[in-house]
Amino acid sequence: MNSVVPNPAAAVAGTDSPPQNWRIAALDALRERDPVAKVEAVRALDALVKAQGAQSDERWNPGQRIEAPADLPGRPERPELVEPRLLQRRSMSTPQGRVVLLHALAHIEFNAINLALDAVWRFADMPEAFYADWLTVAAEEAYHFSLLRMRLADYGHVYGDFPAHNGLWEMCERTRDDVLARMALVPRVLEARGLDASPPIRARLKQAGDDESAAILDVILHDEVGHVRIGNHWFRYLCEARGLDPHAAWLALAGQYDAPKMRGPFNFEARRSAGFDETELETLAAQDAEAQAAAEARKRPGGARQ
């Protein structure tokens, strides 16, 4: 694969020419199929940008519209991608169950690298801070993936050993033509769901005596609050720029793009820290209550016909 940055790590070390277009360099990292090489490329590019001043350098080239290549995203041949209903569900009380969980988390983090990189290269005419933010997110997701990859190795496994699903990237594809939809639905819906899911998963890992894996969940949750906050910031920035009410826009886009329905329990503390306001949290609670009432109605005799 031809690349503007044949070796971003070497560029940082001063042994290769630095990239002249940082968004294209992010696209090159996105196209990288080897997970370890992708992690190294992302970390090196992020370090280079920070060293040279992300806010003042013109090499983001925000006015350039880059043609989408056909080979997105770059990912290894394994894991096999299947429908979510076909994935294994095993108790975390067993080592095998914990391995399956850790693999699922690693897959989420690998996809999160790709999602953040896609935001950097795809959307033209955004402020330079937008690109710098999402490159930093990509670097932190790469760190999370590395932690989980090493923990899988402790159990004698590698990323790719178990099937996975492609839901995160599918939403990325659906929102590829509108940065507002991307900000509304990827960080604020899909990634925010991790804020809700992490504490109970961590508790079950601790209960099973897997303190090392639980500690990784602590790191991920701390950083993901910041990632969702970034998504909230840029969603509201875009709503203001387009003269939209953010609450109405969020609900409209969720319906338009068939976003997953949000179900509780919700980690309201983490969501507040990530920038959700009380109106948004009340909307989530109301939607969950409505969904629970509908589920209870279906359980009653004749409920399925009502």
Is residue 14 scored above 70 in pLDDT?
no
The string of DSSP letters for 146-192 reads: HHHHHHHHHTT--TTSS-B--HHHHHHHHTTT-HHHHHHHIIIIIIH
Give CA–CA dist 38/44, Å, rounded.
Answer: 10
| pLDDT of the residue at 57 | 60
- Cα torsion 85, 262, 195, 225: sign: positive
- Name the pTM for this structure: 0.90
**DSSP characters over 52-106:** H-TTT-GGG-TTPPPPPPSSPSP--S-SPB--GGGS----TTSHHHHHHHHHHHH
Query: Within 13 Å and on the Cβ side, how many CA atoms surround 96?
Result: 4
Asked whether the predicted pLDDT for residue 6 surpasses 50, the reply is no
**pLDDT at res. 56:** 58
Does 17 have pLDDT greater than 50? yes
DSSP letter assigned to residue 20: S
58-94 pLDDT, tens digit per residue, is 789 999 999 999 999 999 999 999 888 777 777 788 9
